[in-house]
Amino acid sequence: MNSQPEKDDATARAYAEVTALLREGPQEIGRGVLRPQDHEWIARARLALRPTSGPTNVGAITREFDGIAIPLTRRENFTRVLMRLYALKASLEEQLPGDARGAFIGVNQELNALQAVSRILSEAEGSALVVDPYLNHEALFELLNVVSEGIELRLLADSHYTALNDQARAGVVRWRAQYGAGRPVSLRLTQPRALHDRAFILGGGKVYLVSQSLKDIARRSPATISRAEPDVAALKRTHYEQLWDDSGPTI
């Protein structure tokens, strides 16, 4: 019989794989020829859903994957597989220990998205580095309003993609004047096209990966915030701390 830590570890691995499938995979597949990366994603999704394939739904799941191979039925069957993955993710998340959970945010649930971001930032110890290539002034001000007092907020955006304007810069200056060292904030822009992830890199060791940019999270499709496994978290932290050091101060 497996011990509880072993069960938790197996659940965490399954959760990480399903979250990666939802984060990295396509949101829709057209009727054209499937690309090698599409076939790879489909194979991984089959494996992820295998444990859920009980006697009552194994046939349905098989038909759905078979239907993805047929251009005329591809879209509807892909959508069904995608919904199964979202359901599996929600089920696995319920089984995780509290400190390993991320968040699933449905379409147009922007308040839920803000609450999820606030909860993630509340886990920071001393500092939080937010990585978002497309950061804009609305997302910036939302982050400022939810981060806790005493947490150093560092924002890293991409100079090619970001839409930060003079209003955002002026707002940060006013924020600093009002709150000073009690709620410090700084922003840096990387070289063009240097950023690809969206992430919360928290003081204390935790790293969360976000499936969409904060400026339009969950507006057109569901979004996920998932905690990175320790080896991935260490790599992300090292990489983005180096990019932070290499990027000059912006605000």
User: How does pLDDT run across 147-201, given as a tens digit for each residue?
Assistant: 988 999 999 999 998 878 777 888 888 888 888 889 999 999 999 999 989 999 9
Element (H, E) at 8: helix 4-24
Give the best-scoring range by mean pLDDT among 22-36, 51-65, 111-125, 180-194.
180-194
Phi and psi at residue 29, to the nearest 5°: -125, 125
Class for domain 102-246, per CATH?
alpha beta
- Residues facing residue 225 across a β-bridge: 103, 210
Q: Can you give the pTM of this predicted structure? A: 0.64
Say what the pLDDT of residue 202 is.
Answer: 96
Q: How far apart are CA 92 and CA 43, in angstroms?
A: 20
Mean pLDDT, rounded, for 16-22: 84
Q: What is the largest distance, in Å, between two alpha-carbon atoms of the chain?
A: 64
Extract the runs of DSSP E, i.e. beta strands, from 164-247: 185-190, 199-202, 207-210, 223-227
Q: What is the DSSP letter of 14?
A: H
The helix/strand/coil state of 127 is strand
Question: Residue written as tokens 């904060």?
Answer: 214
Which two structure tokens, joined as six digits, stand for 210?
A: 């976000």
Q: How far apart are CA 193 and CA 209, in angstroms?
A: 18
Q: How far apart are CA 49 and CA 126, in angstroms?
A: 39
- Cα angle 228, 142, 150; round to 5: 75
Domain ranges of the chain: 4-95, 102-246
Give the pLDDT confidence of 85-120 residue by residue, as tens digits.
988 988 887 776 655 556 777 777 777 888 889 889
- In the sheet that holds 207-210, the strands lie side by side as 103-105, 223-227, 207-210, 199-202, 127-131, 152-158, 185-190
Say what the pLDDT of residue 245 is.
Answer: 95
> Do you know the residue count of the chain?
251
Say what the pLDDT of residue 115 is.
Answer: 85
Mean pLDDT, rounded, for 196-209: 93
- Residues facing residue 127 across a β-bridge: 152
The mean predicted confidence, pLDDT, of the chain is 86
Say what the pLDDT of residue 53 is.
Answer: 60
The helix/strand/coil state of 144 is helix
User: Does 224 or 52 have the greater pLDDT score?
Assistant: 224
User: Does 239 or 103 have the greater pLDDT score?
Assistant: 239
Mean pLDDT, rounded, for 221-241: 89
Q: How far apart are CA 79 and CA 92, in angstroms?
A: 20
- Cα angle 53, 54, 57; round to 5: 70
